[in-house]
Amino acid sequence: MSRQSENSTLLEMRDIAVSFGAVRALDGVSFSLKAGEVLGLMGDNGAGKSTMVKTIAGNLTPTSGSIHLSGQPTIFNGPSDARAAGIEVVYQDLALCNNLSAAENVFLGREIMHRIAGIPVAVNGREMRDRAARLFEELQSDTRANQMVNSMSGGQRQAVAIARTRLNKSRIVLLDEPTAAISVRQVEQVLKLIKRLQEQGVAVVLISHRMPDVFSVADRIVVLRRGTKVADVMTAKTSPEEVTGLITGAVERVGV
Amino acid sequence: MSISPIAQNTRNQSWWVEHLNEIGLLIALFVLVAVFSQTAPNFLSDRNLINILRSAAYVGIVAFPMTFVIIAGEIDISVGPAVAFAGVAFAQLVSAFAIPIPLALLLVCAFGALLGGVSGWLKVRYAVPTFISTLALWSALRGGALWWSDALPVIVPSREFRAVLGGDFLGLPTVVWLMLATFVLFSYLAILSRYGRHIYALGANAAAVAALGINSARLRISIMASTGIFAALVGVLIDARLGSGNANAATGLEFDVIAAVIVGGTLLTGGHGRMTGTLLGVLVIAVLANGLVLNGVDPDVQQVVRGGVILLAVLVNAALAKRAHGATGK
């Protein structure tokens, strides 16, 4: 587990509140994220995890509070703003197309083109395959660039979705339940992918229900309950039992 | 998204499996030509072969954009009446309104694009299935064409127009060249353009396309507009052949167009199809129709035979798709 110095804070959420009418989905939550850190974001259904992810990804504008990127206050007017700032989200359904190859999926919407006098004339399949192959190599995944998605394992699919986030060298990657829908054997692969991202200096926010997964890769765990932060603790200093208690409310607060 | 059983399957290894459909169609085409050349003495005459190509061309020009429509998971069943309406509208614009021919051509194509685009927009905005919106157009356009022409031919008063668009160029009918140009254009779009790639993606996983920041609404509307444009073009080309606009022209064209696309291996479930398959599908259907006529098969029986051939092709495609794309059928 790598620990970075205090001054490398990449993302800081300050006193974030999000209301939908009378419902307060998030009620003054603050936390920070450092480069190369894996943060486990946990909580029961309705605790505010997805609201927090959507806020970081620019899908939601907080009712109050502020977002700071590398110390600068930032406002996202949409997901493209967040993406431009180096924040990428891998959603649970992965947004893959079964009829396209791994490389075609990685570059979907961001195709590399052959250009004549600056005008895009044709997709550059070879360049995209080569670059996708390099990304899979960096992620140490056995996914092949020309493999069709419908013949892939759950872990390989996740690798394709994660490779997408590496295209524009994102600094922060949010993974929404990446291990929820795959076999136990594949989970190991996905956790390795998360460690590869971490080694490359990417900050990862792992949203998960699965206690063993979070405990095996996360440096730090933040627990939300009913829209408030009830724990912000180094993984080494807590236990699955304590976190379970924090999620359900049996344990009141830790490190907050 | 379900996780399918793992079968090692890459682009290169499955080339033969993926193209089994085209190979099968080529064989079917040769068999049909061989059989008809024996049973009908005039079948292989230059004149008859050109007739086959000409009738294939009217279907083909609409079938290529239709391939995109079906790959995207949509359908346009209004193309037959759209051809008839454009034919009548063009003839009226030129004769009654004295609008210059190039401008009239542009106007009917723009109107075709508008109607197709409206179907796409209804899908995007109100989730109206394109089957329903184009069914409405199917009825409205045929009715409109009959009403505007009093069910009589509307003469296009231009000999040049007939000579150029209805005539020959370098030994082949102009429409055949136009079909080949349409084939090249849509093959380019399907294989080499970003637009085409996004259409395949849209047919497989529309939510993914939207999540990746691709403008899927614009994509859908433009695909639906394309069949409208090319149906209008065919309407004008039929006017050029006949010298008039006819409300009863292209009756059942939608059947031939969709059949050619499906016989060509495009899956109605979306996400899969190729322009080469459609080209072969168009030729198979044209050869079959022509051969049946030359063999003096009863017109009613011809329809039964064509229906049977399409059913057979769909069954073969379903089996091939399973092999090529895995058990999911995608």
Question: ipTM of this predicted complex?
Answer: 0.85
Q: Is the pLDDT of residue A2 over 60?
A: no
Name every chain B residue with its beta carbon within 8 A of the beta carbon of A154: 3
* CA B252/CA B155 separation, integer angstroms: 23
| Bridge partners, A14 (sequence order) | A66
Q: Which amino acid makes up residue A167?
A: L
Query: Is B28 contained in some domain?
Result: no
Instruction: Look at residue B29 and tell me if it is in a domain.
Output: no
Q: Is the predicted pLDDT of residue A111 greater than 70, yes or no?
A: yes
CATH of the domain at B321: 1.10.3470
Q: What is the pLDDT of residue B1?
A: 33
Bigger pLDDT: A251 vs B314: A251
Strand order in the sheet with A72-74: A23-34, A9-20, A64-69, A72-74
Query: CB of A114 within 8 A of CB of A121?
Result: yes
Closest residue in chain B to residue A95, using alpha carbons only = B208
In the numeric block, the tokens 């199809």 are attached to B273
Say if B22 falls within a structural domain: no
Cβ atoms B222, B76 nearer than 8 A: no
The span from the CA of B203 to the CA of B206, in Å, is 6
Please indicate, yes or no, if residue B4 is contained in any of the structural domains: no
| Residue B132: predicted pLDDT | 97
Chain A CB contacts of B10 under 8 Å are 101, 144, 146-148, 151
Query: What percentage of chain A exceeds 70 in pLDDT?
Result: 97
Instruction: List residues of A whose CB lies inside 8 A of any B CB.
Output: 79-80, 83, 91, 93-101, 104, 108-109, 111, 113, 120-123, 144, 146-148, 150-154, 157, 181-183
Residue B230, domain extent: 43-328
* Shortest CA gap A95–chain B (Å): 4
Query: Which of A93, A104, A146 has the CB atom closest to B12's CB atom?
Result: A146
Q: Between A and B, how many CB-CB pairs are < 8 A?
A: 102
CB contact under 8 A, A95 and B211: yes
Q: What is residue B125's predicted lDDT score, i.e. its pLDDT? A: 96
Cβ–Cβ gap B200/A100 under 8 Å: yes
Q: Cα–Cα distances in Å, from B44 out to A57, B26, B177, B322?
A: 65, 17, 20, 37
In this prediction, the residues of chain B whose per-residue pLDDT falls under 50 are 1-11, 327-330
- Candidates A80, A150, A165: best to mutate against B (most CBs of B within 10 A) is A150
**Euclidean distance between CA atoms B10 and B8, whole angstroms:** 7
Do the beta carbons of residue A45 and residue A15 sit within 8 Å? Answer: no
Phi, then psi, of B5 in degrees rounded to 5: -55, 145
pLDDT of residue A211: 92
Q: Domain tally for chain B?
A: 1
Angle (deg, nearest 10), helices B46-71 and B194-204? 60
Please report where in the chains the tokens 């590496």 appear, as a residue: A166
What pLDDT was estimated at residue B274? Answer: 96
With residue A26 as reference, give the H or E element that holds it. strand A23-34
Q: Is residue B104 part of a domain?
A: yes
B214: in domain: yes
B7 touches A at CB < 8 Å:
yes
Look at residue B14 in the predicted model and tell me its pLDDT: 63
Residues on chain A touching B272 (C-beta within 8 angstroms):
99
Asked whether residue B23 is domain-assigned, the answer is: no
pLDDT of residue B6: 34
Q: Is B98 on the interface with A (CB under 8 A)?
A: no
Q: Please check whether residue B6 lies inside any domain of the structure.
A: no
| Nearest CB to A100 within list B9, B194, B201 | B201
Instruction: Say yes or no: B5 contacts chain A, CB-CB below 8 A.
Output: no
pLDDT digits (tens, 9 = 90+) for A186-228: 888 889 999 999 998 999 999 988 899 999 999 999 999 999 9
Q: Which residues of B touch A183 (CB under 8 A)?
A: 3
Asked whether the predicted pLDDT for residue A55 surpasses 50, the reply is: yes
